[in-house]
Chain A
Amino acid sequence: MEAITLLTFFVLAVFIGFEVVSKVSSTLHTPLMSGANAIHGIILVGAVIVAGSADDPLTLVIALIAVLMATINLVGGFVVTDRMLEMFRGRGSAPAAREGSDA
């Protein structure tokens, strides 16, 4: 892909990244950090591609280590974030009713 196209993606993504998290209450800083942390686990895509094209044992071993690390980041990241957010449900009567439709 052309460098300029990639640069365009990059710049637009920076602005979206800034925009989506502005004005988040400090209450949600922890889950937000954890969720963002899970998202960069998508490096697993890269690790799989590299492992899939490895043609000597050393490269393959290093690539598989990367696959392992990335999987832990990706899977663990989403599971732990979900567990954190689970706690926000089912509290007191009023808020639970307000969020009743949220399943």
Chain B
Amino acid sequence: MSAPHVTWGHYQAMGPLAALLWLAAGALVYRRPRAATALLAAGAVLTLAFIAGLWLSLERPPFRTMGETRLWYSFFLPLCGLMAWRSFGHPWLLSFGSVVAAVFAAVNVARPEIHSRTLMPALQSPYFIPHVTLYILSYALLASCAVAAVLTLARLRRGLPEEGLLRLTDRLCRAGTGLLMIGLILGALWAEEAWGAFWSWDPKETWAFVTCAAFLAYIHLRRAGRRGAGTLLVPPVAFVFLMITWIGVNYLPTAAQSVHTY
């Protein structure tokens, strides 16, 4: 039996270091953008190295447990912040992504929740990696979308110009929802191969539907020309649904009916 090289024990050092690099990047982005980019990239490389090592050690993709999905989220979030900042010119996006990623890294240091190499047969599928990766990537984009919507709403309330932030919210929503739908569709195709049905209204599926539909409602409301407070509240509310899908569903009365709880 081959011996693992990287364990969650290594994250006790790598996690805090990555978090510090991201926090520094988030603080420096307003005055020293190049240094911020370098620090953020260093944190991401460190995390990616840990993920790769863990993948090899576990002899399976590290997507199975809550701790493992948090790890990917903390990896993607600063990168999404970086890309969104470079594309749309809002440095706070990088700060937001960095701070939330640091929080997730801290949670993983305290509660990694991963000890096993096992991967149940249903998870041994080519759909597994793209399904989870795209979901987590979309979660990162939609978190930024929710914050952008709240900031837009705040400016709207104060009578300040909000056009730029509104556009940003729309773009983040379209990108995040597009990826979320790809993840959902891959999940449906996978479920059909594993269990003979594309969709079975399992509680996790139901909440994934709620999340996706809520963001789609925002997209359609914006296409209808709506830009008031009611419309701008949709992304943050949808993000609450997203968090229930990801984490909260395990604690609901319906969780006992789910094959997706972990």
A and B held together in a complex: no
